[in-house]
Amino acid sequence: MEDFWIEAIELTQSVIDGLLFGSTYALIGIGFTLIFGAMHKLNMTYAAASIAGAYVGLVVFVFFSAHPLLVFAVSSLASGLIGLLVYLICFRFIPVNNHLAALMATVGALFFIDEVIIHITNASPLAFPALFGAASFDLGAVWIRGDLLFVFAASVASTAALLYVLYRTRLGLATRAVSQQNVAAQLCGIDVHRTNATTFVVAGLLGGIAGAMTAASVGVLSPLLTLPITVKGLIVTVVGGLGSIPGAIIAGLMVGAAENVFLYLRGVNERDIYVLLLLFVFLVFRPNGIFGKSINRD
């Protein structure tokens, strides 16, 4: 009986940690979804650009011993800039109807970024600063890690800022208009290319925060992070429903929690197998995701 309670408590602890860390997956998922909404194309480079942004942040930390908050800010800005470059290289001048070319360009850029990072760092992981790593909050049987709580709070704040921009500003109005009815948006006087470029920058800003958060909660930054985060981001996007921000948030938390539960139950070697199975379950039984509507354009 006592064993059962210990198990239950540890499982709860896993779920809590997973939900908190899952907020970074939610951010990445939101980024994928934003760009998909604007272009109706996947940007496979997105997660790699986020990690690359975190690397730039790390440079500021290593060479100028900057405060972790500044490191996060620099990561975010750098990733936003990389987002703009990715837009210009992989989308802007590729014909709108050539989906495959854009997809391959972003896959190429993903590996390019990966290779650059490996080349510069000799593929060795580098320590990344965490905020409130020593703090923890005791809630009786379970406790909450300070660094994860910070990650969660930062993700919530970033998401809130994004929603504010999308629903309360001129830029957000343009972004939504372009993603829902491209031709009508142009007829309203909205510059589609500029709006799309801005969407990539905004998504990049979020991604940089997510990249830095991931590195901060893992404790290290490594090129080995890019592929798993790309895959998790895509799972979140599919499970949440392509184009749905609420879907990405819920799916991000779900994937984070599920990952930790499988980690607890089956160990680190099997964890991702079950997370991927989750993807297939959704693709088969709910291919449009939690919030996905059958895409209907007038």
Partner 1 sequence: MLRVENLVTAYGKIKALRGVTLEAREGEVTCLLGPNGAGKTTTMFSIAGILRPTSGDITLDGESLRGLGAARVVGKGVALVPENRLVFPQMTVSDNLHAGAFSRRDDRKRQRDMEKIYQRFPVLRERSRQPAGTLSGGEQQMLAIARALMARPRILLMDEPSIGLAPIIVAEIFRIIAEINREGVSILLVEQNARMALKFAHRLYLIQQGEITFSGTPDELGQDEVIQRSYLGG
Interface residue list for partner 1 (CB under 8 A): 170, 173-174, 176-177, 180-181, 183-192, 296-298
**Whose Cβ is closer to partner 1: residue 68's or residue 241's?**
241
- Assigned token pair, 127: 């320590």
Minimum CB separation of residue 177 from partner 1 in Å reads: 5
Minimum CB separation of residue 112 from partner 1 in Å reads: 32
* Residue pointed to by tokens 């406790």: 143
**Whose Cβ is closer to partner 1: residue 185's or residue 236's?**
185
What is the C-alpha to C-alpha distance for residues 127 and 260, in angstroms, rounded to an integer?
Answer: 23
Minimum CB separation of residue 160 from partner 1 in Å reads: 20
* Residue 143 bridge partners (DSSP): 138
189 within 8 A of 94, measured Cβ to Cβ: no
**Whose Cβ is closer to partner 1: residue 7's or residue 191's?**
191
Angle, alpha carbons 173-100-91 (nearest 5°): 40
Minimum CB separation of residue 200 from partner 1 in Å reads: 19
Helix ranges (H only) for the chain are: 2-39, 46-64, 68-87, 99-121, 146-168, 170-180, 182-187, 192-218, 226-240, 245-266, 271-285
76 within 8 A of 210, measured Cβ to Cβ: no
**Whose Cβ is closer to partner 1: residue 44's or residue 197's?**
197
What is the C-alpha to C-alpha distance for residues 17 and 11, in angstroms, rounded to an integer?
Answer: 10
**Whose Cβ is closer to partner 1: residue 133's or residue 246's?**
246
Minimum CB separation of residue 294 from partner 1 in Å reads: 12
What is the C-alpha to C-alpha distance for residues 53 and 71, in angstroms, rounded to an integer?
Answer: 10
Nearby residues of 297 by Cβ (< 8 Å), 6 or more positions away? 180, 181
Minimum CB separation of residue 178 from partner 1 in Å reads: 9
**Whose Cβ is closer to partner 1: residue 185's or residue 255's?**
185
Angle, alpha carbons 79-82-88 (nearest 5°): 145
Minimum CB separation of residue 93 from partner 1 in Å reads: 16
**Whose Cβ is closer to partner 1: residue 195's or residue 226's?**
195
- Assigned token pair, 176: 């939504």
